[in-house]
Every structure is written in C-alpha cells, then in structure tokens.
Amino acid sequence: MNWYRRLDRAAIVLGLVSIMSAAFVFVHGTFQLVQIGTVGLVVALVLGLLAIAAGWLAERTLLIAAGVGFLLAATVQLVLLAGGGSGFLGGNASTFSLWLGLGAGLIAIGLVPRPEAIEETSQA
C-alpha cells in the first residue's frame, strides 16, 4: 500500500474512534471510558466524520481542520472543567484526553507534506 494511503487510512481510523466514542453516551459505570454529553456527541460525530472524509479524499487541509477542531473542543472542555463542571459539552477530563489525542494525531498526520504540495512548493 502507498505510504500516503496508509496516512489517510490512519486518519480514517482516528475518525472512526471518535464516532465509536459516541456510544459512551449510553454507557455508565465501570466501563464508561469517557463521559460524552449531548453536545459532546455532536462534536464527536461531526469531527469524526470530517476526519473520515479527509482521509477518504486525501485532503490535507481537511485533516488539519479536523485536528484543530478536536484540539479546540478539548480546550473548551478543559476551560469548562476549570469552572467546576462538565459545562455544555457534558464531558470530563477523560473526554479532554481523548480529544487531545485525536487532535494531536490528526495534526501530526496532516503536517506530513504530500507529493502535490511538494510539487507546488518547488514550482513556486
């Protein structure tokens, strides 16, 4: 498999992880790995789908956008936690951790230069 396709596939996996995390809306107690509220569910689904689309279309800009989106959501969740509650996102520090990982991962993948970007740079 082409190395760039492997990068895109990794982005798709990260998007799928986000979508699967939405299931924790229904899981409580011992096996609740992350706390996902109603707005958090929307964040997980929308950004997860964006990451999958970015990987599917091999769109580096979309990849970075999804990564930045996750990092923003993680930051907002952290600020809400500092206020003493889950806030409108309905998550906890585990949610912050998950979104931090997804954001960092997508940005790390998105920062890898692609052949078309390299060609554009050399032409300029």
CA dist., res. 49 & res. 57, Å (int)? 12
What's the closest the beta carbon of residue 39 comes to another protein, in angstroms? 18
Give the shortest CB-111-to-another protein separation in angstroms.
9
Which residues in the 57-116 window bind another protein by CB under 8 A? 81-84, 92-94, 96-98, 100-102, 104-105, 108-109, 112
Which whole-number Å values give the CA distances from 22 to 33, 62, 75, 110, 113, in the listed order? 11, 21, 19, 24, 31
Closer to another protein by CB, 35 or 66: give it: 35
Binding mask 21-60 for another protein (x = CB under 8 A): -----------xxxx-------------------------
CB-based contacts of 56, cutoff 8 Å, min separation 6: 8, 12
Indicate whether 3 belongs to the interface with another protein (CB under 8 A): yes
Q: What's the angle, vertex CA 116, arms to CA 67 and CA 9, rounded to 5? A: 45
- Nearest CA to 11 out of 83, 105, 89 is that of 105
For residue 100, the minimal CB distance to another protein (Å) is 4
